[in-house]
Structure 1
Amino acid sequence: MIPAIIVCAAVTLSLRLFPVMLAHRFRDREDLRELAALLPAGLMLILVVYTLLEADSGVQLTRLVLAAVVSVLVNLGVKNFLLGFVAGFLAYSLSGFFF
């Protein structure tokens, strides 16, 4: 049991340490800075599209689109991701009463 814990600890440490060490090496590259700026929005877009494509029914799709629109509008208006997330969650949850 102890050897397994040691191996798991070593793997966890290396998976956290090596990316940080590599990040210092490539910090000044402009293309990586642009990628880092675009990556969160791109990943969020992929997740939203996948969620919308996997909707079970038209009602669920309507609720998901409404929540996405509300979330984007609040995020653009307030410039706060957390408030946009909460607004989208509430829009999806409360739309269940109407659809």
Structure 2
Amino acid sequence: MFAAVVVCAAVTFGPRFVPVLVAHRHRDREDLREFSALLPAGLMLILVAYTLLDADSGIQAATRLVLAAVVSVLVDLAARNFLVAFVAGFAAYSLSGLLLG
């Protein structure tokens, strides 16, 4: 049982710790700086595209998703903060469900 917990902890901790070590050792590389600058926008684009492609066929659900995506993208462009944009998009989706539902 203890061995299983140790293995699970290593599998959980490892993928989070190894990139930090690699990034710390190579923090002066220009390509990694460019990648870290583009990563939040790329993640936002992937999340928006996946959400819109996975939308239900109902017009109300599609309207809510498009509204949330637009709010998320606009907040991300204005605030340059992925977490704030995510929360704003989630709030827009949730509130639109209350108002449209």
Q: Report the TM-score when normalising by structure 1.
A: 0.71
| 1:34 to partner: Cα distance | 0.2
Q: Distance in 1 between matches of 2:51 and 2:63?
A: 12
| 1:16 to partner: Cα distance | 4.5
Gaps of 5+ in 1: none
Gaps of 5+ in 2: none
Q: Distance in 2 between matches of 1:80 and 1:22?
A: 25
Q: Distance in 2 between matches of 1:63 and 1:31?
A: 37
Root-mean-square deviation (Å): 2.7
| 1:26 to partner: Cα distance | 1.4
Instruction: State the Cα deviation string for residues 10-36 of structure 1 (Å, max 9, x = none).
Output: 445544443333223211110111011
Asked if the contact 2:44/2:73 (under 8 Å) is kept, the reply is: no
Q: Distance in 1 between matches of 2:60 and 2:76?
A: 24
Asked if the contact 2:68/2:89 (under 8 Å) is kept, the reply is: yes
Match of 2:65 in 1: 64
With 8-17 and 61-70 compared, the bigger mean Cα shift is at 8-17
With 34-43 and 7-16 compared, the bigger mean Cα shift is at 7-16
Q: Distance in 1 between matches of 2:62 and 2:73?
A: 16
Q: Distance in 2 between matches of 1:91 and 1:14?
A: 35
Structure 2 CA distance for partners of 1:7 and 1:64, relative to 1, 3 Å = closer
Match of 1:52 in 2: 52
Q: Which amino acid aligns with 1:47?
A: L
- Percent identity between matched residues is 68
Q: Report the TM-score when normalising by structure 2.
A: 0.70
With 20-29 and 53-62 compared, the bigger mean Cα shift is at 20-29
Q: Which amino acid aligns with 1:70?
A: V
Q: Which amino acid aligns with 1:21?
A: L
